[in-house]
Amino acid sequence: MSSVIESHHDDHHHGPAKGLMRWLLTTNHKDIGTLYLWFSFAMFLIGGAMAMVIRAELFQPGMQIVEPEFYNQMLTLHGLIMVFGAVMPAFVGLANWLVPMMVGAPDMALPRLNNLSFWLLPFAFGILLSSLFMEGGAPNFGWTFYAPLSTTYAPPSVTFFIFSVHIMGASSIMGSINVIVTIMNMRAPGMDLMKMPLFVWSWLITAYLLIAVMPVLAGAVTMMLMDIHFGTSFFNAAGGGDPVLFQHIFWFFGHPEVYILILPSFGVVSSIIPTFSRKPLFGYSSMVYATASIAFLSFIVWAHHMFTVGMPLGGELFFMFATMLIAVPTGVKVFNWVSTMWKGAMTFETPMLFAIGFIVMFTIGGFSGLMLAITPADFQYHDTYFVVAHFHYVLVPGSIFAIMAAVYYWLPKWTGHYYSEFLGKTHFWLSTIFVNLTFFPMHFVGLAGMPRRIPDYSLQFADYNAIASIGAFGFGLSQLIFVYILFKCLKSGEKATDQVWEGAEGLEWTLSSPPPYHSFSEPPVVK
């Protein structure tokens, strides 16, 4: 940063401040993107450590290592931290870094709001994790926190959990407003909506989803708070309420939420596949329409999580067919990615491997989702490990592999150094082998009837559980390679070119590697 100009006449420095205060007070989209990414990575490792506790307990039948109570706490926190602390902030970090660069903007539209929306998160998760040390322990009712488990029978720390969820929700809404305003108002001249990269499109749609559903979650947790402390009976049948009402409200948030976790992944993969296939993306406009269709349909399928609560038959039929309908736009996307690769001059660098791994394993997760969508079949699968297998196949090789692909793809651009390709590929292959070793056996034990969320199980499931636990520890440990790659890449490695990848297209590749502190002081003109 030798070109930093110190001017006492105005408060405007042309480079980052020095020291800790830079990070606390920064309004620069790259700094905030970096903060988000490091925060989510820390949460990923904490959530992963909790998953290790779960899998260590399940290595053998019988109660082995932890108390059932603590097991439930681990299970709850693992879910909450991975969804709200690892995957969502990682995508917001990517949005912060990339959206301004992709649309040719100098920064995000609301830089101070951006700073605030990040700094809410450490406090929210600090509150959530501190509940482990409270009397009665951390939340123990599963990440879906169904009433009355989370109201009548909850530990006292549930109030802190509610407060934490409120803060996370506020952060998400502010981040989303920022993304929408940036995309709508700050695009470079000549960049109309149908010229935007698909990553930007996917984030625009995700941001609208977030703004639509976060208040619903806030409503649900506020009603819980009232039930616990203020004598209301929203979810208490004895007082005229209904626990199923909680499920309806929760899943009206919860189902769009799972698409919030996956739509940015689709954007990432749609950026990576064309680069390494050296061809433009097949069917751009159909990809935009498919993303929008998925977002719309995500609002009318929520009750497929609740087939067994005794809904009217008409309701079950509607939700079954609406759920199956989501497979159509998702299938369009998979078809377009495969068609982009068809007869392309493909090379298999690490980002491409993760992107292809994503397509294959996400599709497996999609098919098990279609099985779960069939109402009479779901009566058998509901609350078994088959469901766990399904959603981990769409979230781990889906969201998390896409985030890893994105990091490998843009890291040389961010740091100005190439990462070690050998280590990257090692990380990919170990992760892929172990993730399948972990979650594939769960389909079998689920179909055989092993219930989820329990610390003990019958003897006939022992072998598959042992395999899954070995896979989980393998997957967890292989992430340490990723940690090493990241730290190594910050400091050393081959100098990256501005283009970075041979087939890469888009405005972010016109900037230097690493990009200047303020990206586009003069807006680029898009032809």
Catalytic residues: 78, 107, 143, 171-172, 255, 257, 259, 270, 304-305, 330, 333, 452
Kindly give, in sequence order, each residue whose CB lies less than 8 Å from that of residue 330, ignoring residues fewer than 6 positions away: 290, 294, 366
**Structural contact between residues 348 and 333, judged by C-beta atoms closer than 8 angstroms:** no
Q: What is the total residue count of the chain?
A: 527
Q: How far is CA 25 from the centre of its chain?
A: 26
User: Residue 495 — φ and ψ, nearest 5°?
Assistant: -65, 130
Burial category of 400 from C-beta neighbours within 10 Å (exposed 0-12, middle 13-18, buried 19 and up): buried
Sign of CA dihedral 451, 456, 462, 468: positive
Question: Which residue type is seen at 503?
Answer: G
**Structural contact between residues 101 and 511, judged by C-beta atoms closer than 8 angstroms:** yes
Burial category of 521 from C-beta neighbours within 10 Å (exposed 0-12, middle 13-18, buried 19 and up): exposed
C-alpha closest to that of 107 among 194, 49, 184, 30: 30
d(CA 414, CA 96): 12
**Structural contact between residues 261 and 294, judged by C-beta atoms closer than 8 angstroms:** no
Beta partners for 384? 451
d(CA 300, CA 403): 27
d(CA 291, CA 72): 36
